[in-house]
Amino acid sequence: MHATIHPESNPSLFSPAWRNLSIGATGLCSMMAFEAIGVAAGMPAVATALDGMALYALAFASTLAGSVVAMVWSGNDCDRHGPFRSMAGGMLLFGIGLLLSGLAGSMPMLIMGRIIQGFGIGALGVALYVATARAIPPALLPRLFALFSSAWVVPAVIGPAISGYIVEGLGWRWLFLGIFLLLLPTAALVLPPLHRDREPSASASQLPRALPWALLAAAGSVGLSLSGTAGHWAPLLVVIALGVLAHAAHRLLPMGTLRLARGLPTVIALRGINSSAFFLCEAFIPLWLHVERGWSITAAGLALTSGALSWSVGSHLQSRITDEGHRRVWLERGCLALWIGVVTSGLTVLKFWPDWMLLVGWSISGLGVGLSLPMLGVLTLKLAPRDQQGTYSSALQLCAALCTGAALAAGGLGFSLLHSKTPLLAYASVFILATGLATLSVVSAPRT
């Protein structure tokens, strides 16, 4: 699929040639974000209504497992057939999963719907990268990735409140059915331009070799997600699952990713490192503020809101940088900002500074990931060969998913082992792990 670029002195994402794809792709990102954030906020009501608290954790783990498998399939399919099939298939699976979940009469049926949603989300995440890279001029990609970031940030800020309103006013089923209704007009925007310009490739299929490792990675992800319910077996389950994930990642990610080889391998690894450092801290900040410092749930959520808003600011700032040399410099500064924010937040937890400094630290962390993550996405699409953009886009998102899951499991295990005796050390262990990841990010950034 070759882009048709019309000569314009100041091209825009909303020029007629790219308007539908830009709007539709951003809308898809918002829907997937609300599915992740808003549905999570409403899941306690869902599990209660379906008498399925025993399967509560599996409702989340199943979606992650499905997305891991679909990322691998979609990357291969986009390289061989262009992004249309993966985009259309992802939308179909996402829609079927939403319908099954929204109409579920039991928790097992809901989990089946969540697995199918995961298949759709994994396929769509990769197809969005490849479709926009092939259809939209490279100079506009930083701006589009800024829109993608905003599409995730807005549901992070308002998603839980909207979720609560839907559950109380309309019923929990509309958490899923409402997204399904929005999916239909979005498909009408995105699919026609991709269908007109399909580009088959002679690339050899890597799926038969990769699929068993994708299934192994999915199994490891489920193991990590369920470790919190394993009681005394949790440490053993986490260790086994981490070993499984590491082995699967070695097979699925491009050669050199795990040893931070220069170029694309480091770009992909940085996506996983930065994501895991940020989301590991994010999982424990509200808990510390509410349980240890006595903040209300609403006030504790302000810390996360500050990070989400600064993430949006950082993403917008990176979209204004046009010089490639400056973008590399600001990528390194984004990784440094993430490190400063994590360290500041950690020192606040250790009582070196007053509680309000955590809001400052987390805002700096949000600015760092807002700068760095969109840049890493753009850099991946720039450095990857055209006929392997699907494979590398898949690896980018797969690395983020696996690293974040591993960091949350490792941090959660250390926290659970220490919290009953020394709560301060338990929280410190989480931020020490996050600081180590952020330090690795700063050291590795020049290798991109």
Q: 153 and 209 share a domain?
A: no
pLDDT of residue 4: 41
Nearest to 44 by CA among 204, 172, 209, 184: 172
Q: 417 and 304 share a domain?
A: yes
Mean pLDDT of 188-200: 74
CATH number for 154: 1.20.1250.20
Residue 204: Cβ-neighbour burial (10 angstroms; 0-12, 13-18, 19+):
exposed
Q: 239 and 265 share a domain?
A: no
Mean pLDDT of 205-216: 76
Answer whether residue 156 shows pLDDT above 80: no
Mean pLDDT of 154-171: 79
pLDDT of residue 38: 74
Kindly state whether residue 4 falls inside one of the protein's structural domains: no
Given 148, 173, 194, which residue is the final one in a domain? 194
Least confident of 15-19, 97-101, 196-200, 417-421: 196-200
Kindly state whether residue 125 falls inside one of the protein's structural domains: yes
Q: 292 and 419 share a domain?
A: yes
Kindly state whether residue 36 falls inside one of the protein's structural domains: yes
Q: 212 and 143 share a domain?
A: no
pLDDT tens, position by position, 279-320: 888 888 888 887 888 877 667 767 778 888 898 899 989 988
Kindly state whether residue 6 falls inside one of the protein's structural domains: no
Q: 184 and 215 share a domain?
A: no
Domain range for 147 is: 14-194
pLDDT of residue 2: 42
Kindly state whether residue 54 falls inside one of the protein's structural domains: yes
Q: 188 and 217 share a domain?
A: no
Mean pLDDT of 209-231: 80
pLDDT tens, position by position, 119-139: 999 999 999 988 888 888 888
Q: 186 and 312 share a domain?
A: no
Kindly state whether residue 128 falls inside one of the protein's structural domains: yes
In the numeric block, the tokens 């009681």 are attached to 231
Answer whether residue 196 shows pLDDT above 80: no
In the numeric block, the tokens 């559950």 are attached to 167
Give one word for 354, left, alpha or beta, with left for phi > 0 and alpha for psi -120 to 50. Answer: beta
pLDDT tens, position by position, 53-71: 777 777 878 888 888 899 9
pLDDT of residue 208: 64
Kindly state whether residue 199 falls inside one of the protein's structural domains: no
Q: 225 and 128 share a domain?
A: no
Q: 319 and 410 share a domain?
A: yes
Q: 324 and 246 share a domain?
A: no
Answer whether residue 162 shows pLDDT above 50: yes
pTM of the model: 0.84
How many domains does the structure of the chain reveal?
A: 3
Q: 156 and 216 share a domain?
A: no
